[in-house]
Amino acid sequence: AAKKNGRNCYSWFENGMETELRSRNSLEGDIRAAIPNDEFVPYFEQQIDLVTGDLMGFEMLARWVSPVRGLIPPDDFIPIAEETGMIGDLSMSIIRKAMVEAKNWDPKLTISVNISPVQLKDPWLAQKIVKLLVETGFPASRLEVEITESSLFKNLSLAQSIVGSLKNQGIRIALDDFGTGYSSLAHLRALPFDRIKIDRSFVSSMFDNAESAAIVSAIAGLGASLDVPITAEGIENDNILSRLRALGCSKGQGWYFGQPMNIDQVRNLLSQKDLLPARRRQAEVTST
Ligand code: C2E
Ligand code: MG
Ligand code: MG
Ligand code: MG
């Protein structure tokens, strides 16, 4: 009986692995097919000047709009695209769509795009991004590239040369998700970042968790001493917003200002005549 049980267990385990492998393979196949099918699209999250309340631009966030699987968030397909070598083409095709769209907006509005650590191993990355700018006519001065610290470990000198080329073109560079992972203050010196983004995990919990609050103030202080402006992500309410303003964070984003939007929703937002940010709108409501 023990032997039979054992065998059953073994074959159950094997079947489980097989099922997982099969669903992964089918996901990989679906991703491959979805690229030429135009199922990967840019979503946009508002980035707000925390001092004036003005809309500064948007962070572009990738979404998979699958007729079969529904709306898929990036965490479900970016890792597979990275492991299978599809991330470069996938990313460039979504960024291209974002540039084509954003070119028609108010020329003050910027877009920030996320670049995977895998892409930062490509010596041609800077050239590819510049090629997109030339082809779409989107100005370099309106583009910010977000990279995470984990990108910098494998090959710092390549990352430095890519970042150098991008900056020479007038593209700005932000250090994304600062405070998570292998944060090292040395990285802040190794690369000429134009901006540091505080990860949403600290920001959204700053009133529930003393450590989060301490980390947010420490990063804000660091930004002030190094003279690098800070963007806070994950602003979910008014209390967080006020605290971040007091700490001197210059820019912010989060569900308090709005969820990521598709192209139609952005067009709709931008076409509203009295396009006023939430903070100012609220101030007006309370003063009348
Ligand atoms: P990220 O760069 O840190 O992007 C911010 C994420 O926080 C987004 O999730 C956004 O929807 C979410 N978020 C924004 N405000 C709030 C808030 O107030 N509360 C909460 N709880 N969450 C908020 P999303 O779109 O699921 O993206 C997750 C991550 O996927 C991004 O993190 C980014 O690292 C990656 N990603 C997204 N698009 C791309 C892409 O095109 N290429 C690459 N390489 N990575 C991407
Ligand atoms: Mg980002
Ligand atoms: Mg981030
Ligand atoms: Mg983050």
pLDDT confidence band for 26 (50 / 70 / 90): confident
| pLDDT at site 19 | 72
Determine whether the shortest distance from the Cβ of 260 to ligand 1 is under 6 A. yes
Mean pLDDT of the chain: 90
**Which pLDDT tens digit goes with each residue over 36-85?**
999 999 999 999 999 999 999 999 999 999 999 999 999 999 999 999 99
Ligand 1 probe mutation, 61, 111, 177, 253, most atoms within 8 A of CB: 61
Please name the residue whose Cα sits nearest to atom 41 of ligand 1.
62
Determine whether the shortest distance from the Cβ of 197 to ligand 1 is under 6 A. no
Residue type, 250: S
| pLDDT at site 179 | 86
**149-153, 198-202, 273-277: segment of lowest average pLDDT:** 273-277
- For the chain, percent helix, then strand, then coil, each to nearest 5? 50, 20, 30
pLDDT above 70: residue 248: yes
**Which pLDDT tens digit goes with each residue over 94-142?**
999 999 999 999 999 999 999 999 999 999 999 999 999 999 999 999 9
pLDDT confidence band for 13 (50 / 70 / 90): low
For residue 202, report the distance from its CA to the centre of ligand 4, in Å: 9
Please name the residue whose Cα sits nearest to atom 25 of ligand 1.
61
The interface pTM score, or ipTM, of the predicted complex is 0.96
* Residue-wise DSSP of 168-223: HTT-EEEEEEETSSS--HHHHHHS--SEEEE-HHHHTTTTT-HHHHHHHHHHHHHH
User: Which residue is listed with tokens 């979404």?
Assistant: 63
User: Which ligand 1 atom is nearest residue 199's CA?
Assistant: 3
pLDDT above 70: residue 34: yes
**63-72, 185-194, 212-221, 237-246: segment of lowest average pLDDT:** 185-194
pLDDT confidence band for 12 (50 / 70 / 90): low
Task: Judge contact between 114 and 60, C-beta under 8 A.
Answer: yes
Say which ligand is closest to the CA of 146. 2
The stretch 174-195 carries a mean pLDDT of 87
pLDDT above 90: residue 218: yes
pLDDT above 50: residue 3: no
Determine whether the shortest distance from the Cβ of 63 to ligand 1 is under 6 A. no
pLDDT above 90: residue 242: yes
For residue 129, report the distance from its CA to the centre of ligand 1, in Å: 20
Task: Judge contact between 216 and 202, C-beta under 8 A.
Answer: yes
Determine whether the shortest distance from the Cβ of 144 to ligand 1 is under 6 A. no
Say which ligand is closest to the CA of 231. 3
Determine whether the shortest distance from the Cβ of 149 to ligand 1 is under 6 A. no
- 148 DSSP β-pair partners: 176
57: CB partners within 8 A, 6+ apart? 47, 109, 110, 111, 112, 142, 144
Ligand 1 probe mutation, 122, 195, 233, 239, most atoms within 8 A of CB: 233
pLDDT above 90: residue 276: no
For residue 138, report the distance from its CA to the centre of ligand 2, in Å: 20
Where is pLDDT greater, at 6 or 23? 23
Ligand 1 probe mutation, 89, 200, 205, 240, most atoms within 8 A of CB: 200
| pLDDT at site 279 | 47
| pLDDT at site 277 | 53
For residue 233, report the distance from its CA to the centre of ligand 2, in Å: 9
Determine whether the shortest distance from the Cβ of 200 to ligand 1 is under 6 A. yes
CA angle 56, 208, 44 (to 5 degrees): 25
Q: How far apart are CA 36 and CA 124, in angstroms?
A: 22
